[in-house]
Amino acid sequence: MVQKAEIIPLRSSHRKQTSLYQCTVAAAVVLLNPQVFVAVASNYRQDEAGAASAWDSIFKRPLGHAPTPCPHASPALLLRQMTQDEIFTKIRGVLVDALAVDGDDVTRKSVLTADLGAESIDFLDIVFKLEQVFAIKIPQGELFPENLAQDPRYVQSGKLTPEGLTLLKGRLPHVDFSSFEADPVLKKVGSLFTVETLIKFVEFKLAKK
């Protein structure tokens, strides 16, 4: 944990130490929460307005926006600072490698199965590569639920029951079910897994680190 003595007040005598101050604050504000930054910085500036100004001068962005990654930040911190576009770029690389598809064919709306030709065996490889690239742990069945169709409480006549749909939504908080809910046919579950779904899943996992 960052100690009080380690935070360097942003005064004229410390202009040359701005990068160190940036790194220290970035480490203190693990989740890049501007309100936490204000609380931390105010302890040294005794002024919330000054803290907001410090955020802007240090990170070159208005309060409420994520800062430019600190060059000395840890890999884990840099991963948490990734934008959706940066996450998408890495996921596209994962899919190109795992599915042997052209990078231009991988868009945010691409369905893993229908558009990119992913099969059940490919999901294991995708999960493994996502764990490596983003330094996250994905328990079995967390990203791609398993054995759902084998329980009559969850699937009847080829469709998810209300209980089954509730269970699936609980397992996949990062998935948009708005169109699927109208006709929850089991065979259509695969259409839920798009590249956008992977982006939101990775964001969800990184935020919990």
Q: pLDDT higher for 188 or 51?
A: 188
pLDDT at 73 over 60: no
Residue 12 buriedness (CB in 10 A; 0-12 / 13-18 / 19+): exposed
The domain made up of 84-207 is a member of CATH 1.10.1200.10: yes
Q: Please state the separation of Cα 75 from the chain's center in Å.
A: 15
- Tens digits of per-residue pLDDT, 106-136? 999 999 999 999 998 999 999 999 999 999 9
Mean pLDDT, residues 2-10 = 39
Question: In the chain, where does the domain assigned CATH 1.10.1200.10 lie?
Answer: 84-207
Angstrom distance (rounded) from CA 198 to CA 112? 10
Q: pLDDT higher for 200 or 5?
A: 200
Q: b/e per residue, 146-158, with b = 16+ CB within 10 A?
A: eebeeeeebbeee
Can you state the percent helix, strand and coil of the chain, rounding each to 5?
55, 5, 40
Model confidence at 81, in pLDDT bands (50, 70, 90)? Answer: confident
Model confidence at 56, in pLDDT bands (50, 70, 90)? Answer: low
Q: pLDDT higher for 207 or 41?
A: 207
Per the prediction, the chain carries an average pLDDT of: 74
